[in-house]
Structure 1
Amino acid sequence: MVENTMEALLQDGFAKKMANQYLGNLERERKSNAEAQFIDPELLEWAHANGFYGETAVALQLNEQNKNDYLSDYDYCRVWPLNDWERFWINDKLTFAYLFAGTEFEKYIPESYYYVDQTRILPLINSHMDKSLDGFIALLKEKGEFACKPCNGGWGMGFNKLSYLDGTFYVGNKEATEDEVRDFVTANRNYLYTEFFHPAEEFAQINPVIHTLRILMLNEDGVSPTTVASYFRFAVSDDSGISKNDDSKSNFNLPREPGLRLFNVPFDPKTGNYGASTGKHSILLSYNDGRKDVDTHPDSGTYVDGRIENWAELEEMLKQMAIRVAPVEWLGYDLCMTDKGPKLMEINSHSGCTYLQMFTPYRTHEVLAPYFEKRLAAIDALGEDAIKARNGIPR
């Protein structure tokens, strides 16, 4: 049982930043559930008392018998940050792009076109170095599509798409004037504009919105990275009217209301197999109807079963990339298989653990279980001054 107060969390070694996030998520769930119930109230109360979000309890089908198989949200937030200050290299999408530019990894990285800070429009490495808004518009016409996203953030929040086709501009796949595109750019600060990805045909048949292949890699000693967990995420329609085919939206939405659905697919990093060929079912998760094992995508009806033929090469690339950024030991890679080949969208420094644990419970895993036991024990052993220092970690 945990005590969900700021004072208790700080005494237990939380950084105040993460304590605020954790308590904020608990409050968001309580508020959302009070307005439109989508989690059983007794389950929600039980989950919070045991250190889990209600959403996690539904996703993992938690109960008293199996809860110890899973790392709790409380403990995962408590051990933040798993990476030292070098986490900034990957937390910021602009730094991430420049970190690998000009290297053998560049072909896997999305092209970077523009960054808009608080006062300027800055052309990036894959632009024509025209610093004007006119230059931005000209490059959009040339490329046809830009992915738009906050330079640092998570959960797909703020993602959008700008495009130009046959003389017409679009913002979020809705027809727009050139002035409206210009207004979008000037209104959205700290935004990065990059190459827009479309899934390869094999994956477009499942869903035309770009998917995410999350690969969690641990590289504790800096020289021997190991893949420890993985899964595929595909977009799926929900009951709130979000289109199943709108590629201007992220393939993930935070569960905030009834009707939301998520579609997660098992992936075996030992073989490159995904879906039914792994011997596991895909999971359709609804915060109305609970969790269901399925083998077909609920919108397209496509049977989800296949293999990434060049997986061994891709995994080796990820391992070499991990060695290049050796001080970063906890890496959540977000890959996608595009019509231009495999691409790496970003690397996360503190990947969410709920959906990975659907297929890989951390507390029973031969590598992750001892890793987190060691991490948590180290916090337990800290003195008062060291605890206060952890409380003050800003970002």
Structure 2
Amino acid sequence: CAHSVGSLSKTNRKTALFDFHRDQGGKMVAFAGWSMPVQYKDSHINSHMHTRQHCSIFDVSHMLQSKVHGRDRVKFIESMIVGDIAELKDNQGTLTLFTNDKGGINDDLIVTKTDQGYLYVVSNAGCADKDSANMKAKLAEFKAAGHNVDLEFLDECLIAVQGPATAKVLQPGLKDDLSKLTFMTSTLTSVFGIQDCRVTRCGYTGEDGVEISVPKSGVVALMERLLANSEVKLAGLGARDSLRLEAGLCLYGNDIDETTSPVEATLVWTIGKRRRQAMDFPGAEIIVPQIKAKTARKRVGLVSTGPPVRQHTPILSPEGKVIGEVTSGCPSPCLKQNVAMGYVDSAYAKNGTPIQVEVRKKAAKAVVTKMPFVLTNYYSGK
């Protein structure tokens, strides 16, 4: 899963909003095989703070959207993931993980159990080829065994509207009462007159927000309608990355990958209780014993002083021994200090543990810190 931001080539795919981004002053970069805006006219920091204080729109149409149909759809998706989809209520979703037989994470994804007789699945752009190949192979296996299941890959846009003003901005364009649409629930509705939109109360910033799956034919009109509100601005990948890091959220390919287990990544909460007991997901015989036994390394949050800490920065003990590596890091616009996450030897994983990071061959002080770094504001309906 390629996640580095790079220069554009002719082979990068474009979302239906490509021309719109350029017209709005978007600076386009290569990301996971797509041409995406890293920022607009505003600075990355202004964009980040605007999302925390008001409302921003992100184009996330590069992500893989799919539907699973058929009587055996829950059994099918559960054969590849760690989550308990059977226990979800109608129109409720959950963050879960595709795992492999070695106990590693193939991708993270959101599965929503809709009341329209299908599961709605959103997974990462950088893993689209791998995920779709795995799903197709599993589909063939299920069909050969006589199961009733079908898979549909969607060709729709996906936009994320994020920030504390989200409900105020969106409610005038919705028949549904947003105060009833709580975190990780979803509805099929029209948004500002654009039909067939799926609105899900979720996001990747730690703020209240929604992701809207919208037909390509209506996406520009929807963006223009949202941007007509003075609370709303466009935001790019730069702000998206610093926002998700402050919220303590993993980026696939950086913080989790095929070699990290859900236990090492402190994502045990994604593994359904029934699934742990049944041990019927890929890699269960490796992952489930780790829950009790502890792992040699663990994903932690860090706050440091000095120069910014980036991916691959070595993490040191107070005595200077290498005990791990940073997987994501940036200066936090909200906290005005460096934040990072990474993996350390489990002996150093307790919050408050003093450690060091090695930046440009010099050691700087750091402290293992509880995530999220910035309080999350997900809407619980309370």
- Give the TM bin, normalised by the shorter chain: under 0.3
| Greater fraction of residues in strand | 2
Q: TM-score, normalised by structure 1?
A: 0.27
